[in-house]
Chains A and B, each alone.
Chain A
């Protein structure tokens, strides 16, 4: 049984760890719940599902329009600042939905920023009734859409980018109008990429916790959280999670399927950049205005609101221990990305040299961590280790080991590991698969050991990819809110938790400074990696 070797067992172990929360959720689906399920069914559950669906449908439509239109303009046309927009639009990734939510509330509320601006421009008057109130579901839809549209933009754009011809020209040659070209050639060709982007948007949207809770909208995700907290019913929470998971797995399959499709649409070699068509006059203005507005609303608007607050309420600059939070963030990001990348490389390598099919299936399980909303993962994590600890203290002399996992850096990094392993593992896998196996054979013939093949051939080849993965993990961890909030140790804040705590104390203006730092870090990471992100072939 050569299959069941060291590599098999280590991959099995990792896959098991990553899949544990899903397994926990799955099994509790069949356990008993309190009577609250009946109350919930009669009152809230329908509302939760309804709100989740409304938000999902609108977010998908808006991100589709924003992402595809901007990708269309930027890929096929030349207009003022089009090269700048090509990466600047990704900066929306730097602003998490919950920070976008703060900005919307601050700007549109009674006596908010919009009111101040109007007063400064036109003098004293009660402008409040005339300022639209973007809150509740509407606010959530806007905040989530503008923070997630880059998924659609990036994937659609790279699908356009790797076409061998400019479709506009193809359409002209075929005698089609611009509109016909768009609907008959361009959109169908990018369909897999668009669907993949939308599936990611949908997953993030369903698992959103911060944004909707800032707007006090109850969705399936906050419903899970509330049934766990208010009704003290973990099984119920897990059962609702299960419903949500079904949704998410459906989306995930769509996404994976679309990506496979997308591969057929890409030329394997002979890539040359497409010739862009130069726009002038009204059309140029239209393309420019669209991209500018998108960039303005998604990035400049929240950033200026945060800067405005920081300057208007300078008291908080002294109150907040920014240095410590910076160090905390670097510490978490550093530790988690080292662990993630190291283990991902290790398992990828094992999977490569053992060539086991079972191993391949096992590692597919790894995706499950990403599929679970962070808040549910944190819930499952606490349950799991609380039970595990009781089991251990009953059967061994180990005593209480909960403290090792709950409220410790170790536990937090483990939770990040479960959540982001799929991102890191699959990111490295996609690049690893491009190293032909014959290269390994040649290396062995030259007398290279397996370790040396790995360290002097694989790692240098994967270097760029590893850097990109580290950047992406860092970006996710910097923005991560619910897990950090629930699992963090004593006296330990990140930018995300600090901002959220201030916001939930009705001190949005104090949340500005940590938010601004969070956005700055994320912006630096995005700018640093924008070349890689934009050149990703899906």
Chain B
């Protein structure tokens, strides 16, 4: 038995070392369109892309336990990458990357691939323009929204990143109070994903919802069926904090894993993902905002409005740094 194991493991090493023209991706962002993108990369460079997808937490554990297998860790949230930074290494510093990505959306260890905004959706027949004027994330805790707001659970990473950015800008104490205000404004106990929040507003369960931008475009596209397309037309997007720092932005990003066996290939892939061709593919399939200049978002996203002020002052690296604090204040406030 031992000999067999030895033989098999020897075989693994031989293969592992010989077939080195590949790159190993652990992806928590597993759209079919991403796979098509990897196929394009392989066709172009001859580098084989290996993917294992899953939920971010489990992937992170496996990256650590397996050690020396993963090259890139791809997620749909900066908070994840930030929290995982001790297991990432520097090296994403080529001039291609630096010119493509604004500095608040990258560190040497990880870079943004696409952007999304977390915004407010409202029902135009029940929420007046006057009510919305000057709306900020901070003012969502205002008692005038009592019983009118839906937002998903506190274990959701998008919420954790939003709250982390609020803590960075307002301090933990204020945000702890704010969380309590949010909980008392909720129209229902948090449940479902972002799309379910938007649908709740369409269905009249609530007047305003907090959700990411691409969900509305996805529903408007008809890919979720005619009913949801019609429902999506009943809500309107609103971009908060236009009077001060701008709307909360988050990223889909890629991190370079410590001990990556194919570091060069990984960097090549990241550079490819930031090319015009790849960015066009991403925005047209996932309805995110492009990371690089000179590529237009999907027309449905353009229709939601592009002339809003993005928060470019709060570095996304804070989402990871303040994640534990965010979870703590939300839990303490009874945010399920």
A interface list, Cβ under 8 A from B: 39, 43-44, 109-111, 115-116, 119, 126, 128-129, 135-136, 216, 218, 225-226, 228-230, 312-313, 315, 319, 379, 382-383, 385-386, 398-404, 406-408, 410, 485-486, 488-492, 501, 504-506, 509-510
Contacts and interface: CB of A to CB of B under 8 A. Distances in A.
Interface in B120-157: 153, 155
Given A399-B13, A489-B52, A111 B199 contact: yes
Nearest to A392: B9
B203 A129 contact: yes
A240 to B, nearest CB: 16
B62 A407 contact: yes
Given A229-B57, A501-B53, A509-B224, A403 B202 contact: no
B57 A486 contact: no
Contacts of B65: 382-383, 385-386, 402, 406
Given A110-B231, A506-B193, 4 more contacts: A110-B200, A229-B60, A403-B69, A407-B52
Contacts of A315: 223
Contact of B66 (A119, A128, A225, A402): A402
A123 B135 CA distance: 37
Given A111-B227, A312-B225, A399-B13, A382 B205 contact: no
A197 B79 CA distance: 45
B55 interface: yes
Contacts of B153: 216
Contact of A485 (B9, B58, B202, B203): B58
A486 B227 contact: no
Interface of B: 5-6, 8-9, 12-13, 16, 24, 30-32, 50-55, 57-58, 60-62, 65-69, 153, 155, 189, 191-196, 199-200, 202-205, 215, 223-225, 227-228, 230-231, 327-328, 331-332
Contacts of B51: 490-491
Contact of A407 (B66, B191, B200, B224): B66
Contacts of A136: 189, 191
Contact of B54 (A135, A216, A399, A485): A485
B220 to A, nearest CB: 13
Contact of A403 (B6, B66, B328): B66
A315 B332 CA distance: 44
A404 B8 contact: yes
A135 B9 contact: no
Contact of A111 (B9, B52, B67, B231): B231
A509 B193 CA distance: 15
Contacts, number: 128
A28 B69 CA distance: 27
Contacts of A228: 57, 61
Contacts of B191: 135-136, 216
A400 B61 contact: no
A404 B5 contact: yes
Given A111-B228, A135-B192, A400 B205 contact: no
B58 A229 contact: yes
Contacts of A406: 62, 65-66
A116 B205 CA distance: 18
B54 A110 contact: no
B120 to A, nearest CB: 18
Contacts of B194: 506
Contacts of B204: 126, 128-129
Given A126-B203, A486-B58, A109 B192 contact: yes
Contact of A404 (B9, B195, B332): B9
Contacts of B60: 229
Nearest to A315: B223
25 contacts: A111-B228, A111-B231, A115-B227, A116-B227, A129-B204, A229-B57, A312-B225, A399-B9, A399-B13, A400-B67, A400-B68, A403-B69, A404-B12, A406-B62, A407-B52, A408-B12, A485-B54, A485-B55, A485-B58, A486-B58, A489-B52, A491-B52, A501-B53, A504-B55, A505-B30
A400 B13 CA distance: 9
B59 to A, nearest CB: 9
Contacts of A404: 5, 8-9, 12
A129 B13 CA distance: 60
B106 to A, nearest CB: 25
B50 A490 contact: yes
Given A407-B66, A491-B51, A401 B205 contact: no
A379 B61 CA distance: 9
A400 B203 CA distance: 55
Q: Which of the listed residues A408, A492, A504 has the most CB atoms from chain B within 10 Å of its own CB?
A: A504
A161 B203 CA distance: 51
Nearest to A381: B65
A509 B68 CA distance: 36
Contacts of A399: 9, 13
Nearest to B224: A509
Contacts of B67: 386, 400, 402
A378 B12 CA distance: 22
B257 to A, nearest CB: 14
A115 B202 CA distance: 13
Contact of B202 (A111, A319, A379, A408): A111
B56 to A, nearest CB: 8
A111 B66 contact: no
Contact of A501 (B30, B155, B196, B224): B30
B64 to A, nearest CB: 8
Closest CB pairs A-B (n = 3): A229-B57, A128-B203, A490-B50
Contacts of B58: 225, 229, 485-486
Nearest to A384: B65
Nearest to A387: B65
Contacts of A401: 5, 9
Contacts of A485: 54-55, 58
A250 B58 CA distance: 29
Given A110-B205, A486-B58, A319 B8 contact: no
B24 A403 contact: no
Contact of B52 (A382, A385, A490): A490
Given A402-B66, A488-B52, A505 B203 contact: no
B35 to A, nearest CB: 9
Nearest to B323: A230
Contacts of B231: 110-111
Nearest to A489: B52
A492 B60 CA distance: 18
B62 A110 contact: no
A490 B50 CA distance: 6
B288 to A, nearest CB: 13
Nearest to B153: A216
A128 B203 CA distance: 6
A501 B59 CA distance: 13
Nearest to B33: A319
Contact of A319 (B32, B54, B215): B32
A406 B66 CA distance: 6
A505 B31 contact: yes
Given A386-B65, A403-B16, A111 B203 contact: yes
A406 B8 CA distance: 14
A134 B124 CA distance: 28
Contacts of B6: 398
Given A135-B191, A406-B65, A504-B55, A216 B199 contact: no
Nearest to B76: A505
Contacts of B332: 43
A398 B58 CA distance: 27
B50 A110 contact: no
A488 B52 CA distance: 8
Contacts of A115: 227
A532 to B, nearest CB: 34
Contact of B12 (A39, A128, A403, A509): A403
